[in-house]
Chain A
């Protein structure tokens, strides 16, 4: 069969790539966000921990950030941590779907109303890092409002 010379590489290439992917994923322990908890999006302001958004020092360089997304801001929108901080973000949205991406980090997560999400970042570089909403979440007649104005920053000092 003349096709065999092409069928074999067509099967082998994806198989090898898959093995490499699995190896890379499990050796580094890099995982994507998973199911955590559900929350009533209308009661975000009354439900712990989101009734008290902010940065919390857990000691040993570990920090927690509890963050709420809403049109068109993050609370908190400025996070100041020392170099080397490991920060776990616990996030949700109280209206529509938003996204959270922090420049040069592993944080890339959707803020979905009704869902609690978790993502962790390790800040190993000093400086200011942009934190943006990367899912369309609305328009305003005022240009400094609207989805393109939903952002914050992480300051690593």
Chain B
């Protein structure tokens, strides 16, 4: 195994001009700007929820704007889980695709229209949420009935992501014409696989919106079928997790190895894992509905198998990324079984938070397997455990990676220096420790049967039915507030650093140069040729979804009718 000197792996090729043109840079920065604005508000609302759990109720002071814990929780979920992630991903993947294929967008005007469409959609969804006309959580399970603008807005955002898929595919096609026999550049291939997976998987939510939620909210259909709508929702609702995660993996595979001074362990193994994610991410969503009556337990078990199948590319990723980190640590002079870990860069805000993110993801992944483990799910379904789980995954593994990436993407696209890198470093560590405390507390509360999505601080049963278990909750709940406070401080620092970097930091006049991705110890030359094709993988993904969902959906359509009226219960 060849080792490399750190100095031989700069992140920029200063001899070549940056391939991202001014328009791509601007569109990337705009997408990130909306993402950061969303997460700013989302984090502040999360702070209120964490305090509420510890008995500190600040909602009465917000009455004219936020009417209830649940309105705040809906905003928190939509802004963080949907807006922050989606906008960040679209900006980041457009940027990575352009850099990887070394050619500008074929239709930059379409990229700007896409951004405009997604902003319009977000505003259309945000207004009813802010007016307390859509207090339905980010899962909006019918028959809960929000204002039509909420559903239409979210639908437009999803439609925007399809246009992003089209944009990156066009870059690929243009490149392919010029390079008929070359292997796809790894980061570009990964970006397209991510967006292709998402575009197929989001058909579920699109069908739910178009055939159920929108017509119900507009009065076109008087009544709905909650079970069908819910099943379509989770057809998209599980793969959305991979839509959030895969861009982080792209960074861990193609940026981090070089940043830590090493090489990616295996390029072909990385390609295989992404094609498998494309194929396997969707046909496993029923594990979110293990406790639903109305769906046969046989199909639930089939989906449980699928969840274990997708564990395969997850482990491939884990081993590949860790071997790459080890390669970097050894190149920096680390020796022995664990000595290389200490040689990794532990004080670089563009890398370190991502290594911390990987750590949180190990625990998040193990928790996820428990959730998907059929009967084991009965212990934790809809308890605070789930909240702890997805704060470790999307809230830490994904969000820490995106935060760290924004410290890297914003300076590159705006031509400014990162403001206060030492503070950025502290921000990353604070988020990590805050999330460990917060999420650990929620996992324990979940094992003690504390329900999720509940204003537990004002709940009468906490006072009135003080079973021994409920008394244990009381002892743990303050930790939720402590973790939440640390997270809020970190979040405020993040926003501050982003704003200062974007508007006030020193301009960098020297061009950054072209972006260099990680080299691989085992490069693409021995990767199977099938990995350069798209059609068979996309077709397999669609077939597997039809097999996994077809019978269940057909049975539901045959046995249920549109007989449940929509309700506003807030």
Contacts and interface: CB of A to CB of B under 8 A. Distances in A.
A14 B318 CA distance: 13
Interface in B81-106: none
A136 B453 contact: yes
B560 to A, nearest CB: 6
B453 A116 contact: no
Contacts of A10: 312-313, 315-316, 318-319
Given A3-B522, A33-B292, 16 more contacts: A2-B521, A10-B315, A10-B316, A14-B308, A32-B290, A34-B298, A38-B560, A40-B563, A42-B563, A96-B569, A108-B291, A108-B381, A110-B289, A114-B563, A138-B70, A148-B460
Given A10-B312, A139-B68, A104 B469 contact: yes
B32 to A, nearest CB: 31
Contacts of A96: 141, 143-144, 226, 567, 569
A35 interface: yes
B453 to A, nearest CB: 4
Interface stretch (A60-68, A80-88, A127-135): A127-135
A108 B379 contact: yes
Interface of A: 1-3, 6-7, 9-11, 13-15, 17-18, 21, 24-25, 28, 30-36, 38, 40-42, 71, 91, 95-97, 99, 101, 103-104, 106, 108-110, 112-118, 127-130, 132-139, 143-144, 146-149, 151, 153
B539 to A, nearest CB: 23
Given A14-B309, A25-B374, A99-B451, A34 B296 contact: yes
Given A7-B316, A101-B382, A151-B465, A21 B291 contact: no
B458 interface: yes
Contacts of B291: 32-33, 99, 108-110
B315 A30 contact: no
A118 B67 CA distance: 36
B553 interface: no
Contacts of A41: 563-564
Interface string B266-308: 1011000000000000000000011111111110110011001
B227 A112 contact: yes
A148 B469 CA distance: 17
A103 B567 contact: no
17 contacts: A3-B266, A10-B318, A10-B319, A14-B312, A21-B304, A21-B376, A25-B375, A32-B300, A33-B293, A101-B383, A109-B291, A112-B294, A114-B294, A128-B465, A130-B449, A136-B73, A139-B68
Given A113-B564, A148-B459, A32 B269 contact: no
B143 A21 contact: no
A148 B375 contact: no
Nearest to B269: A3
Contacts of A42: 563, 565
Interface in B214-235: 225-227, 230
Contacts, number: 221
Nearest first, the 5 closest Cβ-Cβ pairs linking A and B are A138-B569, A117-B293, A134-B451, A10-B315, A30-B375
Nearest to B309: A14
A36 B293 CA distance: 7
A113 B143 contact: yes
Contacts of A151: 459-461, 465
A127 B309 CA distance: 42
Contacts of B73: 136
Interface string B553-565: 0010001100111
Contacts of A91: 293
Contacts of A9: 315, 319
A9 B318 CA distance: 11
A136 B373 contact: no
B461 A6 contact: no
Interface string B467-481: 111100000000000
B323 interface: yes
B228 to A, nearest CB: 10
Nearest to B292: A110
B360 interface: no
A9 to B, nearest CB: 7
Contact of A2 (B144, B266, B297, B467): B266
Contacts of A134: 381-383, 451-454
A10 B319 CA distance: 8
B377 interface: yes
A109 B295 CA distance: 12
Nearest to B320: A6
B226 A114 contact: yes
Interface core residue of A24, A28, A42, A134 (most chain B CB under 10 Å):
A134
B543 interface: no
B544 interface: no
B421 to A, nearest CB: 34
Interface core residue of A42, A127, A135 (most chain B CB under 10 Å):
A135
Contacts of A110: 289, 291-293
B522 A35 contact: no
B456 interface: yes
Contacts of B135: 139
